[in-house]
Structure 1
Amino acid sequence: MSSCCDDGDHQHHKPGHVEGYDIEGDDPTLSACCLKDKQEQAHVARVMTVLRREDVTMQRLEQRHLSLDNALPRAAPAVALTSIDDDDLDSDDDEYAYLMDDESIVGGLEHQRRAALLAKAALREQGLGIVWGDVEFKAYVQNVLARDTQALVTAKHLRPIVVGRSDAATQPLMAAALLQGAERFLGTCFFGISANADDALRRLCPRIATGPMLVALSSSGEYIAHRSLAIFDEDDWDRTLLPWLEKCNVLRTDFVALTTAKPKQPTTSTNANDETDDDGPTGYDCGHDGCRLKFGYYHEHVGASKETKQAMAAWRQ
């Protein structure tokens, strides 16, 4: 906490330090400022003392170090910003007694963590919130090419697919990003593969090159688009990759269980009279109304937009 004393505007002198001058008595403006700083610092010191005393995490870490017979030095208590008498500290503890007595504060965080872990474990038992690896991806490709829809339904793989192909440099960041996406978008299946699954990836997408990339597939295994990840940092996932996956229309927040398996063959084109999926159209959403390739394969629109052309035509008239 910054204060007037930290900026070097003035200094606190003990009475008698400068003969005939007492900053707290002779200068009312600075005296009020310094008194407020002392009160705030004392309040912070009291609160931090109570919180550190009831910190469950630190207590368990210390117990773990003791159980492992680890000779790590015990953390020294924080130095109080102001000198506080023991009697004053004991009297102030009564003011914050609710922090120790209120179970919602002391044990609430622990209960929330436990509930979150149990919820994640329950989802993983159902095959949700998981990033599948090389073995599962090879089995997925085999089931897609064999048109074994029942196997895809059983494995929870009949969903829009996101495949993250990483190398040694991008693997840690890729694994963390895919796990975050899998836990957030339960209706999307996430695969994190390595170079060992390149052959299976080429069987499904023969025209893409190898290397770190992100591949978007429809729920039937059709190729939508891919994006190279030769340069990938921790900010790229939220800043560029998630918006790109939303354009590819493969992100689903909720998982909808299929009661019956309907065989569907991967095709390069769709018929207008075919039945549509319950999840809505799949494929790359270019954002241009009236585009014949909308929700198809990845493409970009170049040149002036329709609105710009109309404005230019009106200006010429």
Structure 2
Amino acid sequence: LTSIFDSVFSGSKRSSTIVQGLSASIYNWAELAINCLHGESDPRCLIQLLRLLAGLQEAFVPVLQSNFPIDALFDAVSAYYPVQFTPPPNMKVPVTKEDLVQALWKILSFTKYDEACIRAGRDSMFGLTLGLILDQLLPLPEDEPATLQEQKDGLMDLKLLLNISKTGNDAIVKVEAIEQTQIDAKALAQISSALRSIHSQTAIQGAAGTPGSVTPQQVSLLCRDLTSYIAFACEQQTKNKMYWQTFVKDTMQEILRGKSTSAWSRPDIVFLSCLASCGGVKSLKLVLDHSLPPLLEVVAETDLNSAEDDFTAAKRATAVSTSLFGIAALCAAVQTSANRQPAGVVLDPHPLQSD
């Protein structure tokens, strides 16, 4: 189909007229296929429909462009995200969870219509899918909180959607969605908020977990990696300077705003260190300029021996301990940034890792 439509679309003026005449019928065909998906629960039928819709997405690009029913397609397939499926025993036509995940993701990650949709003032598949992932990571208060497995899966899907890849010896990380300016500043702010929230939840839980299960430490490390990758890509993006402003500078200001140094939490300090360690000089300088002096001031000026009572002494000791922790994390960020390996804060042992 794709080759046929390409041939017709690129042909003569008469062919263009044919394309226009076919557009309405093709649109109806696409809508019919989409409507067949609603309520489908048989995995054998579901996998066939998902693959059919993915094929139609690709085939109809030359013809429909901004007219493809993206909203209708998303509404139909989003009900199956995230895929929760266990194959029943003795299934004659085997369908695995991985099969369904791949077929669904092929649809959700297809962005060839997005540019035309945005020009026409319509939602893009990238934006719709990003919202779906963020809802998975941070459910509404009235919904059940996300499990560690769901958080990990959502973060991995975010990594796939942003198309994050490493080159060479992992020293350079590319985030294609930022390089191609597929994302806007508002969405970046939402991603930053989600990463920071999940990191705060999981970093304080340590490495607890049953064997074979996802641990809080794994999720928090994934948050740190993604934070550094995105921060580095935002700093490298020259077409849209709001990227760096939103993801790095605004996030740092949000963490520090209205707080005394003694009120900084260790997860927030580590998150700042991830921004600093991304490999970008501007990010490193910004975080150090605003974070390091107040931490050093706490250590230099706090008198642990002049406390009037045990409570005050303990409070001061905690402030000094947290400040020393922050200084160590920022020093590690300098080393990581210097090596241009945006893989988060690397300390041995890591400050958040229990002995």
TM-score, normalization: structure 1?
0.25
TM-score, normalization: structure 2?
0.23
* Structure number with larger C-alpha Rg: 1
- Greater helix percent: which structure? 2
- Greater strand percent: which structure? 1
